């Protein structure tokens, strides 16, 4: 099937389908691949930053825990506790040890010694009456140490030290030591209160160096250190903290109050969590620029494709009109404007098929202009051509819309009269004879189709009748005898 025989709209739609859709798909794919690459890089970078921060904080807390445990195991300090009897405590020795312990590391807000039952024994540098029962936060970590007999790092709480700093207690049990080196009964609990502002300072320094925001949370989800721009936790932050507290390292993409990418990691052994984050806007800035670049190139290209679709539509329309004109010219006699011999053969075959299908009569007429050669020689070829043109025009005004009029060749014409009997055909031929212009005449031979014969056979009978009309003197109509139908 020729291309121009298809619907122009379907062809244009197909053109747009195979051009615009791949363009849009490739544009979207480029942005998606870039976004995925950014997410993977952010995952690796943020998870690494969170892990490094957690490792450093864990090492700092662990070193303080080792210091407290070391002091708790010194023989002179154990001896000063007088077998756990507060009445016999050597407070001078204890206070000296507390002062010494408070100076081992910057950031220690105070040092506390509790009795075995959790009462306050000695503090530095506070001025609290010995024997005072501590508040909930202190009793919580003291109970944890007394239960486990192991060092313990507490959640964040507000200290009663000067300035009420936020601290974490790093506590260790003080036990008697048996002769074989095994731990004996609990004599008390030694703890330092470490100001979390030191963790915040480290977090800010690390965040500035890495270009990320670092947040640290304790066992209960309280913020130990946080970015200045983040006064509270989002649900995604809490989910990351919960996962890190379970000992996991991972990555989440939050879209709550502000879109952000978060990498998280646990602080070893103490149940704290660290997570590093960057805003999605910063992380995907390159992707946004790529998206703009893609649009900058895709929109003009799409407009060009749309222009191409419009030009294709116009071109196909021109081709269709040109093809229709070619078909018309191939079917029409160029001089007279009626069907030519080729079209006559095609139309007659279709008319015979329809007459056979509908069981209707069909009459074929072969017509010849009398003495046309003599007229042409006498008046010239232009006059002969004009006679042919005027004759065709006159006869075309006579035939019905269902009839077929064609120039068979030279001065010979053919007519197929649908649903027409012999008598009606003779009458029509009479009108044809009367309509011949320029004082000329014509002869006609008629053949009524017998319902079975071929187009060539019925034309041959009509042509034989025309031959008889010429032999009988011209300017007349002869009807061919009807052949007998095959048995």
Per-residue pLDDT tens digits for 375-389: 999 999 999 999 999
Q: Which domains does the chain show, CATH number per domain?
A: 73-195 (3.30.450.20), 341-479 (3.30.70.270)
The predicted-structure confidence for 9-42, as pLDDT tens digits, reads as follows 777 777 777 777 777 777 777 777 877 777 777 7
CA–CA distance, 259 with 209 (Å, rounded to integer): 22
State residue 447's pLDDT score. 95
Residue matched to tokens 């942005």: 31
Residue 442 has pLDDT above 90, yes or no: yes
Bridge pairing between strands 183-195 and 166-177:
antiparallel
CB-hemisphere CA count at 13 Å for 117? 6
Per-residue pLDDT reduced to its tens digit, 240-268:
666 665 655 555 555 554 567 777 788 88
Residue 175 β-bridge partners: 186
Task: Give the pLDDT of residue 136.
Answer: 43
Least confident of 39-48, 235-244, 275-284, 336-345: 235-244
Question: What pLDDT band is residue 416 in, cutting at 50, 70 and 90?
Answer: very high
Mean residue pLDDT across the chain: 81
Residues 36 and 130: their CA atoms lie apart, in Å, by 61
Q: Give dist(CA 177, CA 69) in Å, integer.
A: 13
Q: Are 283 and 213 in contact (CB under 8 A)?
A: no
Written as one string, the DSSP assignment of 428-473 is HHHHHHHH--TT--EEEEEEE--SSS-HHHHHHHHHHHHHHHHHTT
Mean pLDDT of 45-67: 85
Model pLDDT, residue 40: 77
More confident residue, 290 or 256: 290
Candidates 156, 154, 173; CA nearest to 68 is 173
User: Binning pLDDT at 50, 70 and 90, where does residue 217 land?
Assistant: confident
Helices 8-72 and 285-331: crossing angle in degrees, nearest 10, is 170
| Dist. CA 168–CA 272, nearest whole Å | 11
Instruction: Categorize the per-residue pLDDT at 465 as very low, low, confident or very high, splitting at 50, 70 and 90.
Output: very high
In degrees and rounded to multiples of 5, residue 368 shows phi and psi of -135, 135
User: Token pair for residue 258?
Assistant: 């502000």
Decide if 348 contacts 422 (C-beta within 8 A): no
Q: Is 89 helix (H, G, I), strand (E, B) or coil?
A: coil
């Amino acid at each position: 099937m020729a291309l121009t025989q298809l619907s122009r709209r379907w062809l244009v739609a197909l053109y747009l389908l195979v051009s615009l859709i791949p363009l849009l798909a490739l544009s979207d794919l480029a942005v998606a691949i870039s976004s995925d690459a950014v997410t993977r890089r952010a995952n690796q970078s943020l998870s690494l930053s969170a892990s490094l921060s957690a490792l450093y904080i864990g090492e700092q807390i662990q070193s303080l825990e080792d210091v407290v445990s070391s002091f708790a195991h010194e023989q002179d300090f154990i001896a000063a506790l007088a077998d756990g009897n507060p009445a016999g405590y050597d407070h001078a020795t204890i206070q000296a040890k507390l002062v010494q312990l408070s100076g081992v590391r910057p950031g220690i807000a105070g040092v506390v010694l509790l009795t075995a039952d959790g009462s306050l024994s000695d503090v530095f540098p506070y001025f609290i009456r010995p024997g005072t029962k501590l508040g909930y936060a202190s009793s919580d970590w003291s109970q944890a140490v007394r239960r486990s007999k192991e060092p313990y790092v507490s959640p964040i709480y507000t200290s009663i030290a000067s300035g009420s700093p936020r601290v974490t207690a790093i506590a260790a049990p003080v036990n008697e030591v048996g002769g074989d080196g095994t731990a004996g009964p609990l004599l008390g609990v030694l703890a330092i209160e470490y100001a979390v502002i030191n963790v915040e300072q480290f977090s800010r320094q690390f965040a500035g160096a890495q270009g990320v925001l670092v947040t640290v949370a304790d066992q209960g989800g309280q913020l130990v250190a946080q970015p200045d721009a983040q006064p509270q936790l989002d649900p995604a932050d809490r989910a990351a903290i919960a996962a890190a507290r379970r000992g996991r390292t991972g990555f989440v993409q939050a879209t709550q109050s502000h879109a952000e990418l978060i990498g998280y990691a646990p602080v070893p052994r103490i149940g704290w969590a660290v997570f590093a984050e960057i805003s999605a806007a910063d992380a995907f800035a390159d992707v946004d620029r790529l998206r703009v670049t893609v649009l900058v190139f895709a929109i003009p290209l799409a407009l060009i494709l749309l222009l191409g679709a419009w030009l294709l539509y116009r071109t196909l329309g021109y081709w269709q009109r040109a093809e229709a004109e070619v078909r018309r010219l191939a079917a029409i006699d160029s001089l007279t404007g009626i069907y030519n011999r080729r079209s006559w053969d095609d139309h007659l075959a279709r008319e015979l098929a329809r007459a056979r299908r509908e069981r209707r009569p069909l009459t074929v007429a072969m017509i010849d202009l009398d003495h046309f050669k003599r007229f042409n020689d006498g008046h010239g070829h232009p006059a002969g051509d004009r006679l042919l043109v005027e004759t065709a025009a006159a006869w075309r005004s006579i035939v019905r819309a269902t009839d077929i009029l064609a120039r068979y060749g030279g001065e010979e014409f053919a007519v197929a009269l649908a649903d027409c009997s012999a008598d009606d055909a003779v009458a029509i031929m009479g009108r044809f004879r009367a309509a011949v212009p320029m004082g000329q005449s014509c002869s006609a031979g008629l053949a009524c189709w017998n319902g079975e014969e071929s187009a060539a056979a019925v034309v041959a009978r009509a042509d034989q009748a025309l031959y008889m009309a010429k032999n009988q003197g011209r300017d007349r109509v002869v009807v061919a005898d009807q052949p007998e139908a095959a048995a």
